[in-house]
Amino acid sequence: MKRVKLIRDGGFRLVVMSMMALFAFTGCSAHPNSANAPVDQPLSETDSVMRAAVGDSIYRIITEAKKVKAEEIVLTTDSVKTTKSAAKDVKGKFIYLVQFVLSSPKNYGSDLASFGNFMPCFKLTFVKKKEICVLNFDFGLKKWSICDASGKVIKKYDLPSDDMLRIAHMLFTENKLYNSLLNTDKR
Q: pLDDT tens-digit profile of 148-187?
A: 888 889 999 999 999 999 999 999 988 888 888 888 856 4
Cβ contacts of 119 within 8 Å, gap of 6 or more: 75, 80, 138, 140, 141
Contact in structure between 164 and 100 (CB atoms under 8 Å): no
Residue 104 has pLDDT above 70, yes or no: yes
Cα dihedral sign, 15-20-23-28: negative
**Which carries the bigger pLDDT value, residue 129 or residue 20?**
129
Q: pLDDT, tens digit, for every residue of 6-65?
A: 566 666 677 667 766 666 655 554 444 545 544 444 434 446 788 888 888 888 998 888
The structure's pTM equals: 0.69
Contact in structure between 144 and 157 (CB atoms under 8 Å): yes
Position 114 scores a pLDDT of: 80
Average pLDDT over residues 116-138: 91
